[in-house]
Amino acid sequence: MSHTTHDDALLQVRNLEKHFKVDAGWIASILQSVSGDDPDYVHAVDGVSFDLRRGETLGLAGESGCGKTTTGMSLVKLHEPTGGDIHYNGQSLNDATDAELKEFRQNAQMIFQDPFESLNPRMTVYDTVAEPLRIHNITNETARVQRALEFAELLPAEQYFDQYPHELSGGQRQRVAIARALVLDPDFIVADEPVSMLDVSLRAGVLSLLERMTDEFGLSVVYISHDLSLLRHMCDRLAIMYMGKIVEKGPTDQIIENPQHPYTQALINAVPVPEPNVGRERVELAGEVGDVIDIPSGCRFKSRCPDYIGDVCDQVVPPLEEKAHVEGEQAVACHLYESVDGTDPAEAFRQGQSVSASGDGPESTPADD
Amino acid sequence: MAQEESTRSSVFADVEEVSSSDEINKWARTARLWRETLKEHWSLLTDELSVRLSMLMVAFFVLVAIFAPFLAPNPPLERQYQTEDQILIEKWAEPSIVGGDSGYLLGTTAEGFDIFSQLIFGTRAALLVGIIAAVFTAGIGTMVGLVAGYYGGTVDDALMRLVDFLYGMPLLPTVIILVALLGPSLWNIILAVIILQWRATARVIRSQALSLRERPFVKAAQVAGASDWHIISRHLAPNVLPMSFLYGSFAIAWAILTEAGVSFIGLGDPNTVSWGTMLQASRAYSALSFGAWWWFVPPGICIGLLVISGFLIGRGYEEITNPKLQ
Ligand SMILES: Nc1ncnc2c1ncn2[C@@H]1O[C@H](COP(=O)(O)OP(=O)(O)OP(=O)(O)O)[C@@H](O)[C@H]1O
Ligand code: SF4
Ligand SMILES: [Mg+2]
């Protein structure tokens, strides 16, 4: 596996898993415990590893349901991971003390997709933005709230103090949400499709606000979206997710211009390309996303993959690794390419089959976990 | 801030330290916001004529209950004897209001009690039962519903099984049995009503809390590090409060009806006059067949007026709780 740990990694996500028990109701769960059946799990996030560096914007892309939101919520501890770990400033969150968790909470914030839902309808703008300060007993409330609102370009700030969310437009609400996320002066922010519910005309303003956060104040941002052209504009690096796993990650330009994974290629071809001279054939994403409860063996993309190369795809989970033919830190999870140490997965599989044991590390054992 | 060693600049780098007017400002602001909210609710509520009339009606009954000793010409449970020979003569006295020359506005009962005075003191019992039962019904139901809905899982399962169990019991018969077991007193009636009534509030509030806890604004508070109690009290409670009020105002009406029902079958508090015990006494003395309508019609009307007022105010509040109107 290829985790080049950067010195300036703020967050290190290692093999993060979040499985949700399929809620079948209490009668079914009693029946299950009597009959000894295992309950079903939705494999929302299924072994994801990446670093978030200081001051960078990392994009998480992928189709609906691939686990982007679940990953983002796990990053800010809205979900307790069912496996793996997150390190914050080198400190594991799994065995963090209460005090450490509190400090983490002060430094991890999230902006949600729906600005109509992410503000309490019965709380004024002032109380909403001041709430994190009160929770963490931070003094100088009024001045800080005012500054946060000013940063979010809600001017004059005092005029917004006593307004209720229903008196604000969608764009203003999202700015209030941003002010609330900023008021604790966090290290990083997870922005889950922050403009997808806004009017197109309002998006640019909110986006430039998010850019100012990173440019002027060096915040790290995890930007979740399925709009690749937007991510291209916003992000330093990208991670492409499919069915709870990262299939490709690397610097944004490299991924957009030179996608390696067949899924990334399909995604990029599915979005309108802004430059007309970059001629690409358009591919519609055909087929259905696989079953997230009964995870298929081998590569999760195999049923939709145009480059399917037989048994190795069917049986071996492709590890996310750097490949021999791509420069830089781009990592791909696909058997098409030779890994950076020169092993050709398909070849190795054929040999492994004849020796009847393939020992390529944990990632490439057949997956029926 | 926490990351002293990090080099990045802060949005708040130049926010100067504590200004002393901070605290004062906050209280003034909070007070003003409460005033505005209450005013808004009040004007929404009193927008409708039926609600205004109902409120006047309830206010009237409240005044009557408060000033009962001054309004009632006689103690409610004192037999009206004729002064000289101590013989009970005012039995079945016809009401002076329709021309009887007894001197008793609504006549007297077969036992010689002044009906008008009983009616006035009965208001006290009705409001006492209604308001205490409603406060506890709404309070317990809201707390249980919030806790069950917010925590979910085993806590929720346990509490909701209890609610399901209570739902298996019909209101009036069970209250009757409970009161029969506990002994006939006004407090036991109130207790029995509370035990059986919080179930409806709990169930409704729980389902609201279940959906509220998944709302992004609750998630946002969790991200900020809010404790469970903070979320329940600041984010869930204010959003379910209109619903608790709604169930509370309906509970007033139900409690009064139940008390009347329990008293009517003879399990009322023998030392307290309520409209229900008046009806019960009139039935025991067969007032209907003797044509003594003045005995049972006034308490019936009072029960009807108060109960209908309660329901109408509840209905009016229901419109406020409908977020589409906000
Ligand atoms: N609380 C939950 N309980 C059960 N299943 C969940 C829960 N949250 C998410 N899931 C499931 O996990 C999978 C991933 O969901 P997630 O919301 O992370 O996807 P997403 O990539 O954000 O999709 P979208 O682009 O639609 O927002 C989905 O199949 C979803 O149904
Ligand atoms: S591993 Fe095989 S199925 Fe999966 S993306 Fe690569 S070629 Fe396609
Ligand atoms: Mg999502």
Asked if B11 reaches chain A (Cβ–Cβ under 8 Å), the answer is yes
Ion ligand 3 — residues with CB under 5 Å? A 69
Going by C-alpha positions, the residue among A329, A351, A348, A349 that lies closest to residue A340 is: A329
Mean pLDDT rounded to a whole number for chain B: 81
In terms of residue numbers, what domain contains B173?
Answer: 52-81+93-325
Paired strand residues for B119: none
The pLDDT of residue A285: 63
Q: For residue range B248-265, what is the model confidence (pLDDT) as tens digits?
A: 888 888 888 888 888 888
Q: Which residue has the higher pLDDT, A51 or B24?
A: A51
Q: Is A332 helix (H, G, I), strand (E, B) or coil?
A: strand
Q: Which pLDDT value is given to residue A178? A: 92
In chain B, positions 211-230, which contact chain A (CB-CB < 8 Å)?
A: 215-217, 219-227, 230
If one residue of A16, A19, A20 were mutated to test the ligand 1 pocket, choosing by the most ligand atoms within 8 A of its CB, it would be A20
Report the C-alpha gap between A359 and A336 in whole angstroms: 19
d(CA A191, CA A314): 35
pLDDT above 80 (res B285): no
Contacts of A76 in chain B (CB under 8 A): 223
Q: Which residue has the higher pLDDT, B246 or B88?
A: B246
**B259-274 core/surface letters (b: 16 or more CB in 10 A; e: else):** bbbbbbeebbbeebbb
At residue B271 the predicted structure's pLDDT band, cuts being 50, 70 and 90, is: confident
Which residue reads 């006004």 in tokens?
B186
The per-residue pLDDT for A25 is: 67
CA dihedral A341→A346→A352→A357, nearest 10 degrees, is 80
From first CA to last CA, the distance across chain A in angstroms is: 19
Paired with A17 in beta bridges are A46, A83
Residue ranges, comma separated, of all CATH 3.40.50.300 domains in chain A are 9-246
Place A367 in a pLDDT band, splitting at 50, 70 and 90: very low
Name the strand (E) or helix (H) holding A85: strand A83-88
Under 8 Å between Cβ of A265 and A285:
no
CB of A64 closer than 6 angstroms to any ligand 1 atom:
yes
pLDDT exceeds 80 at position B237: yes
Dump pLDDT digits (tens) for B120-136.
888 988 888 889 999 99
Residue B307 CB neighbours (<10 A):
19
Query: What token pair was written down for A272?
Result: 């309108």
Atom of ligand 1 nearest to the CA of A226: 25
Assess contact for A198 and A206: CB atoms under 8 A.
yes
Residues with Cβ within 8 Å of residue A348, at least 6 apart in sequence: A358, A360
* Residues whose CB falls within 8 Å of the CB of residue B124, separated by 6 or more in sequence, listed in order: B65, B68
**Looking at the domain assignment, is residue B9 inside a domain?**
no
Helix (H, G, I), strand (E, B) or coil at A170: helix
What tokens appear for B312 in the block?
Answer: 């109408």
| Residues linked to residue A53 through DSSP beta bridges, in sequence order | A9
Would you state the pLDDT for residue A280?
A: 43
Per the model's pLDDT, the better-predicted residue between B63 and B9 turns out to be B63
Q: Which residue has the higher pLDDT, B145 or A327?
A: B145
Q: State whether the Cα torsion B116-B117-B118-B124 is positive or negative.
A: positive
CA atoms within 13 A on the CB side of B42: 6
Contacts of B160 in chain A (CB under 8 A): none
Encode pLDDT of A107-149 as tens digits.
999 999 888 888 988 888 998 999 999 888 888 888 888 888 9
Burial class (CB in 10 A: 0-12, 13-18, 19+), B313: buried
The beta-carbon neighbor of A78 closest among B8, B222, B227 is B222
- The burial of B136, by beta-carbon neighbours within 10 Å (0-12 exposed, 13-18 middle, 19 or more buried), is given as buried
Residue B299 within any structural domain of the chain? yes
Distances (CA, A) of B199 to B63, B188, B196, B203: 31, 18, 7, 6
Q: How far is A271 from chain B (nearest CA, A)?
A: 29
Q: What is the pLDDT of residue A72?
A: 93
Residues in B 90-109 with any Cβ partner in A closer than 8 A: none
Q: What is the pLDDT of residue B19?
A: 55
* A9-246 CATH fold: Rossmann fold (3.40.50)
- Tokens representing A228 are 């690749």
CA of B29: how far to CAs of A150, A153, B155, in Å? 20, 23, 37
User: Residue B187 belongs to a domain with what CATH number?
Assistant: 1.10.3720.10
Q: Is the ipTM value over 0.90, yes or no?
A: no
pLDDT for the residue numbered A153: 83
pLDDT band at A60 (very low <50, low <70, confident <90, very high): very high
User: How large is the average pLDDT for residues B136-153?
Assistant: 92
B209-222 tens-digit pLDDT? 999 998 999 999 99
| DSSP H helical ranges for chain B | 21-45, 49-66, 68-71, 115-151, 153-167, 171-182, 186-212, 216-223, 228-230, 237-262, 275-284, 287-290, 293-321
- Euclidean distance between CA atoms B41 and B326, whole angstroms: 10
- In sequence order, the 6+-apart residues with CB closer than 8 A to the CB of A172 are A154, A160
CA–CA min distance B321, chain A (Å): 12
Q: What pTM does this model have?
A: 0.79
Q: How far is A2 from chain B (nearest CA, A)?
A: 27
Average pLDDT over residues A37-59: 87
Residue B141 pLDDT class (50, 70, 90 cuts): very high
Q: Which of B275, B262, B279 is nearest to B180 (CA)?
A: B262
In chain B, the percentage of residues whose pLDDT exceeds 70 is 80
pLDDT > 50? residue B146: yes
Please give the DSSP secondary-structure letter assigned to residue A323. Answer: B
How far is B178 from B297, CA to CA, in rounded Å?
Answer: 29
Distance CA B207, CA B148 (A): 9
Which atom of ligand 2 is the closest one to the Cα of A335?
A: 1
Q: Is B116 exposed, middle or buried (0-12, 13-18, 19+ CB in 10 A)?
A: buried
- CA-CA-CA-CA torsion sign (A224, A229, A235, A240): positive
Residue having the nearest C-alpha atom to atom 5 of ligand 1: A20
CB neighbourhood size of B35 (10 A): 10
Query: Backbone phi, then psi, for B179, in 5-degree steps?
Result: -65, -35
Facing residues of A241 across strands? A246
Q: How many CB atoms lie within 10 A of CB B227?
A: 11
Q: So what's the pLDDT on residue A109?
A: 92
CB spacing of B12 vs A112 below 8 angstroms: no
Which residue's structure tokens are 């957009």?
Answer: A256
Residues A67, A34 contacting (CB under 8 angstroms): no
Listed in sequence order, the DSSP H helices in chain A are 25-35, 68-75, 98-107, 125-135, 141-151, 157-161, 170-182, 200-217, 228-234, 252-257, 262-270, 311-315, 345-355
Q: Give the span between the Cα atoms of B258 and B190, in whole angstroms.
A: 9
pLDDT in tens, A268-283: 887 654 444 444 443 4
Q: How far apart are CA B292 and CA B115, in angstroms?
A: 12
CB contact at 8 A, A354 and A332: no
Structural element, H or E, at residue A322? strand A321-322
Could you give the number of structural domains in chain B?
Answer: 1
Ligand 1 center–CA A67 separation, angstroms = 6
State the Cα–Cα distance between residues A15 and A12, nearest whole angstrom: 10
Count how many Cα atoms sit within 13 Å of the Cα of residue B38 in the half-sphere of its side chain: 6
- State the best of A57, A122, A137, A175 to mutate against chain B, taking most chain B CBs within 10 Å: A122
